[in-house]
Structure 1
Amino acid sequence: MKHPYDFESEATALVARMSIDEKASLMSGSSFWHLQPLAQYDLPPIMVSDGPHGLRKQGNQADHMGLTASVPATCFPTAVTLASSWDRALIAEVGAAIGRECLAEEVSVLLAPGVNIKRSPLCGRNFEYYSEDPFMAGEMAAAFIGGVQSTGTGTSLKHFAVNNQEAQRMVVDTLVDRRTLFEIYLPAFEAAVTQAQPWTVMCAYNRLNGIYCSEHEELLTGILRDRWGFKGLVVTDWGAVNERPRGIAAGLELEMPSSGGVNDRLVAAQVKDGSFDEAHLDRAAGRVTQMILASKNNTAPHAVDFDTHHALARKAAAEGAVLLKNNAILPLGKDKSVALIGAFADAPRFQGAGSSQVNAAKLDKPLDAFVARLGDANVTYAQGFDAELAEADEELIAEAVAAAERSDIAVIMAGLPPLFEAEGFDRTHLRQPEQIENLIAAVAAANENTVVVLSNGAPIEMPWLEHVSAVLEIYLAGQAGAHALVDLLYGDVNPSGRLAETFPMALADCPAQENFANHKRQLVYREGLNIGYRHFTSHDVPVLFPFGHGLSYTQFSYSDAALLADWSADSETVEVAVTVTNSGDKAGAEVVQLYVRDVEATAYRPDRELKAFQKISLAAGESRQVQFTLDKRAFAYFDVTQDDWDVEPGAFEILFAASCTDIRQTLTVNLPDGSGRNSQPMREAPYVIMEDAQLAALGLSVTAPESIKPYHANTTLADIRGHWLGKRVCEAALNMAAKTMGKRQETPVAMKMREEMIMSLRLKTVQIMSAGALTPKRFDLLLLALNNHWLRFLARLMRR
């Protein structure tokens, strides 16, 4: 399969024949999901579609919220579940399956994967992202991209960059020091680009250190292209354009969706009057043309085997499930009666809400899967809570307790209702609804053999943990998760998932919480490098379950850590190994994790950082030597004094581990003098939360946040809701959205998503998405009226 960059010369020749207006027309879509065609050059209107765990192809509906109908497709487990498999080959296989479904539906580019770092467990979209660790996220993304693009379908790596919350995502200015930016928030993008070359990178809505990502020249050109060698095109998130000409000059090629030609005409006019360099337009038009040509070349009729994809979804769900606790109750005996409790048994929570939402081609239910395994007589179902809202209902709890008392085993299908986590808003706490927590407590008191199965997209607190016998985290397991669950509970599949995120004891333990989703227009990332396990291990903060944790039905022992090849100036690598033995009586898979600790650092370094991992399968009693090659980057930090990566010579510990806190074997390696470039390494004191002076030393100046008034193009609908005219504009926008979504989407989560996402829109975005109805003159008039400048309003009204 060919990539867009394979068509560079052909695209350049085509663009040379185009007029300014024709080139400018390629700068935005022709509709919500299609690129602009140019029939005279045989360039068709190729289609792009969401999403990260399955195809969400719509018609021409203007819906990026996932609330209207889409074609049936395989709903694979969400990114949080896939990442928990720690299996690169599996994720590539899932990517290839989604790519094949894209081909069958004539979708040229899949708008995935998302690699934003899980800065806080509260982010409403965390289920779409892989990990709190940048190395882990990058490895998963590269595997997924490689799988999708092996079919000839392109991908879109998103959201570039530092988009770590839903609140104020259209306008928030994220202030991040340079070292933290390069060590935490960029490496996943870097790995995906350098290893897999996605066709496109999608810029985020937010601003980064004062500049909108859609026009951030250092981000889109200096880092993405010059440092990393990205060869594809940059596309906006839907409606993320700020100033279109400025964005093109900065390295942004494609605006989506269509602006009704408004921005295209603006660009063309500026080229014609000499105020905008046509070379920028040529570059951007060339990259769009390259992608269209690649799509044409890779298009081929393709039939989808949905049964095979369903089986793959079942496998992925099983491999991504994490056994958090097991007091010798699992695997379950097949002769035991089961009380299956919880509404998710009959109405499974199998994916998140928002732009990633898939119309599942098939959906298995846990209740049906249990009955198929045990028979009707051995399964008693009790609802326990309402699947949508989980509001207080003592009668449902009483029914569940009665069922538990009559059964040998109680399996509770718990987790988070959809209203608790979705695109468009963030969570406010880490608890389940009180009804579900009370249900677990009551059932556990009635039956000591209680197993809790969690369906949620991100960590939760577990005040009931010590009272239950087992906890299995299946996250959002996709359409085949039900039978995967039964496979796991009854030992057909040995659990092998490991957490790709930390489950904290309490929300207050998370350092980012002081500066997260506070509904202000500016967020300062004062915690710096102290994200996830880096914080918890560096500062000895106890957690509920650590990063990398996961149990098995067998046991693994580690031995014989060995240095196979020491550092050399020629290779600038270290080769190490450890022997892993399955010391139990069942076949199983272990994730061998390798962390690096700098024991002599002068710059502040987290206590340990993941730098390699392998997932291996071992028969009972089998041993295997697992080898790793660590390059210079595995020992490096980002030195802001050099504005580049560097290493400090000296001792480093290689930690072979079963989780970030379960260290099984340790090696010490020494990097000799001369392995680093800087004879005077950066010095930095340890910190948890940085003050302005510390941030300034790392290249970040904390400036005053943008004011809301006077109202301007980047004012949100929520900001103007208190104005008499703004209230009417908001009502009209909400009514239009409701009409587009239709009556069938009047669920609590759909209504909350619609409210939050519409109210977060910038006025500029509303103009873009009006497809030309809100002309520049009408937009000017709206702003003048909102700011009560009535004389200027009348003057502008009279002017042509």
Structure 2
Amino acid sequence: LDEARLDELVREILAVVLKADASARTGADQKLEAHHALARQVASEAIVLLKNDDGLLPLSPDRHKKIAVVGEFAVEPRYQGNGSSEVKPPRVDRFLDIIRAEYGEEVDVSYAQGYELDDDKELSLIPEAVRTAQAADVVLVLAGLPQQYESEGIDRTHIDLPPSHNALIAEIAKAQKNLVVVLTNGSAVAMPWVNDVTAILESWLGGQAGAGAVADVLFGAVNPSGKLTETFPARLQDTPAFLNFPGEEGEAIYGERMFVGYRYFDVKEIKPLFPFGHGLSYTTFAYDDMTVSSRTITDREGLTVTASIENTGEVAGKEVVQLYVSDPASRLQRPVRELKGFTKVSLEPGERQEVRFTLSARDFSYYDSKQARWIAESGEFEISIGASSRDLRLGETIQLQSTQELNYAFDEFTFLRELWENEQMQPLLIELMPEWIGSQTADGKALAQAEIQDFLLDQPLIKMPFFTAGEVSPEQIVALIEECNAMTYRP
């Protein structure tokens, strides 16, 4: 390559470098501290207190003079996802450093590694961790999912923690009753030791200041207010996609339909490990005075729902109030309840505040694929307000009247029962099939006739010519479908 040509190419690169340098923002370094503080605040708002028996948390230097920190995550934090979401932060807090720097003068902080992040089956570090735990007033075990367990493009095949993490928690639980497990993970995990530990804190992947946020919550500088955005199952077999995931021979079947997450656990009446929307606080909240703006609405009107929330504890706190809607008598299968609104309120001790939700017709609707539209059905709807999907404190019932005019969408695969149970269609069926349906003979054949009718009602229309030995022709079935679909109804 000619040297002159090389100089020319280098000048082009240098021009870009100099342009970038000239456009560099001044004062950015001065904002890093403020940004880090904001990251710590945001992370603390997302932390979920899953369990807190005997009020072990928040920790107090007066009650807990010796604190043992166990787990390599305390010095090698996992704070973000892996793959295209990975970023390079200007700084990353380490939990052990934070707790020693901010509380080291008031408490004695010891540390044991407990497990190897690079070897999930190595158990040789557990005995030392147990000895460290036995000498402390309270133990904080930082456990969770290493980076190799969760990553973009890699589907998890189980919901277990690494064997070394589970074994560590189980052994320490035998030696120390004041055990707090702090989880670091991107999604739900199984907890076979859940009944053996006193407190569980879900810290998720907290970002560069996540370790400081965990310390804030553990010591009560921040009252936890996060809520679970997904159901935590007790075991993988309880999850809605268990039989269909990951699929076979290149095909993945989404068999759970709309019954994803809490919707599945509700309709199957399965008790989760921790329900959707769950999250504890260091204070308590009372729910009362629920009102609805009207007991009867149409699908062209909105509905306002209010309730009062009071902080009945001794410290300030925040509560995420959740509203669910149920349609107990829907024509089509629907979830037992669906989240339709939530809001977060901040309350001082003894403070009371009204929360307000506005619902539209869409909040009462389901999508009808045959009609290719959203439909709000006439009938009774139940509205519930609570602290989680399984902790509903208040409820009201309203009546909705649909104003939609719809044509029926029957076809040859519609079951006869759908027409028989419809007041508009039943006379047409009796007229078409008087010897087969809708009549009871008086000559001792009533039972047989009823059995035949029940059998036919559970068959598709396309089968009627066969089951009636040709007395009902295919042309008559087509004409029946056309006549039915020409009728209109209000859902």
Among 21, 31, 34, the residue aligned to 1:308: 34
Whether contact under 8 Å (1:603, 1:681) holds in the other structure is no
Shift of 1:679: 6.9
Q: For 1:679 and 1:558, how far apart are their aligned partners in 2?
A: 43
Show the counterpart of 1:331: 58
Q: For 1:617 and 1:681, how far apart are their aligned partners in 2?
A: 49
Whether contact under 8 Å (2:299, 2:401) holds in the other structure is no
2:306 pairs with 1:573 = no
Among 386, 406, 425, the residue aligned to 1:678: 406
Whether contact under 8 Å (1:581, 1:624) holds in the other structure is yes
Show the counterpart of 1:424: 153
Give matches, 1:464-479, under 5 Å.
464-479=193-208
Q: For 1:609 and 1:302, how far apart are their aligned partners in 2?
A: 49
Q: Can you give the 5+ residue segments of structure 2 that lack an aligned partner in the other structure?
A: 1-15, 418-491
Among 278, 296, 305, the residue aligned to 1:549: 278
2:127 pairs with 1:398 = yes
Q: For 2:103 and 2:339, how far apart are their aligned partners in 1?
A: 42
Task: Give the counterpart letter for 1:368 in structure 2.
Answer: D
Among 179, 188, 191, the residue aligned to 1:459: 188
Show the counterpart of 1:388: 118
Shift of 1:387: 2.1
Shift of 1:467: 0.7
Structure with the bigger percentage of strand: 2
Show the counterpart of 1:563: 292
Q: For 1:679 and 1:455, how far apart are their aligned partners in 2?
A: 53
Shift in alpha-carbon separation, 1:677–1:313, aligned structure 2, 3 A? farther
CA offsets 1:272-317 (integer angstroms, 9 cap, x no match): xxxxxxxxxxxxxxxxxxxxxxxxxxx9967542211111110011
Q: For 1:425 and 1:385, how far apart are their aligned partners in 2?
A: 23
Whether contact under 8 Å (1:648, 1:681) holds in the other structure is no
CA offsets 1:252-276 (integer angstroms, 9 cap, x no match): xxxxxxxxxxxxxxxxxxxxxxxxx
Shift in alpha-carbon separation, 1:361–1:529, aligned structure 2, 3 A? same
Show the counterpart of 1:504: 233
Bigger Cα Rg: 2
Shift in alpha-carbon separation, 1:621–1:417, aligned structure 2, 3 A? same
Helix, strand or coil: the match of 1:422?
coil
Show the counterpart of 1:408: 137
Whether contact under 8 Å (1:592, 1:614) holds in the other structure is yes
Q: For 1:616 and 1:454, how far apart are their aligned partners in 2?
A: 26
Among 210, 214, 220, the residue aligned to 1:485: 214
Among 511, 521, 526, the residue aligned to 2:255: 526
Among 363, 376, 379, the residue aligned to 2:109: 379
Show the counterpart of 1:625: 354
Shift of 1:681: 9.3
Task: Give the counterpart letter for 2:51 in structure 1.
Answer: K
Q: For 1:504 and 1:393, how far apart are their aligned partners in 2?
A: 26
User: How many residues align structurally?
Assistant: 390
Whether contact under 8 Å (1:450, 1:468) holds in the other structure is yes
Q: For 2:72 and 2:265, how far apart are their aligned partners in 1?
A: 35
Q: For 1:597 and 1:639, how far apart are their aligned partners in 2?
A: 17
Whether contact under 8 Å (1:566, 1:575) holds in the other structure is no
Show the counterpart of 2:471: none
Whether contact under 8 Å (1:580, 1:626) holds in the other structure is yes
Shift in alpha-carbon separation, 1:566–1:495, aligned structure 2, 3 A? same
Whether contact under 8 Å (2:371, 2:409) holds in the other structure is no
Q: Can you give the 5+ residue segments of structure 1 that lack an aligned partner in the other structure?
A: 1-58, 60-103, 107-298, 686-800
Shift of 1:600: 1.9
Show the counterpart of 2:176: 447
Helix, strand or coil: the match of 1:577?
strand
Shift in alpha-carbon separation, 1:553–1:393, aligned structure 2, 3 A? same
Q: For 1:105 and 1:615, how far apart are their aligned partners in 2?
A: 44
Show the counterpart of 1:278: none
CA offsets 1:122-171 (integer angstroms, 9 cap, x no match): xxxxxxxxxxxxxxxxxxxxxxxxxxxxxxxxxxxxxxxxxxxxxxxxxx
Q: For 1:341 and 1:301, how far apart are their aligned partners in 2?
A: 41
Shift of 1:608: 0.3
Show the counterpart of 1:117: none
Whether contact under 8 Å (1:389, 1:417) holds in the other structure is no
Moved over 4 A (4+): 299-303, 565-571, 679-685
Shift in alpha-carbon separation, 1:465–1:567, aligned structure 2, 3 A? same
Q: For 1:641 and 1:300, how far apart are their aligned partners in 2?
A: 57
Among 367, 379, 382, the residue aligned to 2:96: 367
CA offsets 1:41-75 (integer angstroms, 9 cap, x no match): xxxxxxxxxxxxxxxxxx9xxxxxxxxxxxxxxxx
Among 653, 668, 671, the residue aligned to 2:397: 668
> Aligned residues: percent identity?
44
2:381 pairs with 1:655 = no
Q: For 2:270 and 2:407, how far apart are their aligned partners in 1?
A: 34
Task: Give the counterpart letter for 1:432 in structure 2.
Answer: L
Q: For 2:407 and 2:327, how far apart are their aligned partners in 1?
A: 17
Whether contact under 8 Å (1:389, 1:419) holds in the other structure is no
Helix, strand or coil: the match of 1:522?
coil
Shift of 1:389: 3.1
CA offsets 1:769-795 (integer angstroms, 9 cap, x no match): xxxxxxxxxxxxxxxxxxxxxxxxxxx
2:362 pairs with 1:638 = no
Structure with the bigger percentage of helix: 1
Whether contact under 8 Å (2:299, 2:361) holds in the other structure is no
Query: Which range is displaced more, 568-577 or 364-373?
Result: 568-577
Q: For 1:105 and 1:460, how far apart are their aligned partners in 2?
A: 46
Whether contact under 8 Å (2:298, 2:402) holds in the other structure is no
Whether contact under 8 Å (1:566, 1:574) holds in the other structure is no
Normalising by structure 1, what TM-score? 0.47
Show the counterpart of 1:75: none
Q: For 2:333 and 2:285, how far apart are their aligned partners in 1?
A: 34
CA offsets 1:413-440 (integer angstroms, 9 cap, x no match): 0011111111121111111111110100
Task: Give the counterpart letter for 1:324 in structure 2.
Answer: L
Q: For 2:78 and 2:299, how far apart are their aligned partners in 1?
A: 52
Highest RCO, 1 vs 2 (Cα 8 Å, sep ≥ 6)? 1
Shift in alpha-carbon separation, 1:322–1:570, aligned structure 2, 3 A? closer
Helix, strand or coil: the match of 2:243?
helix
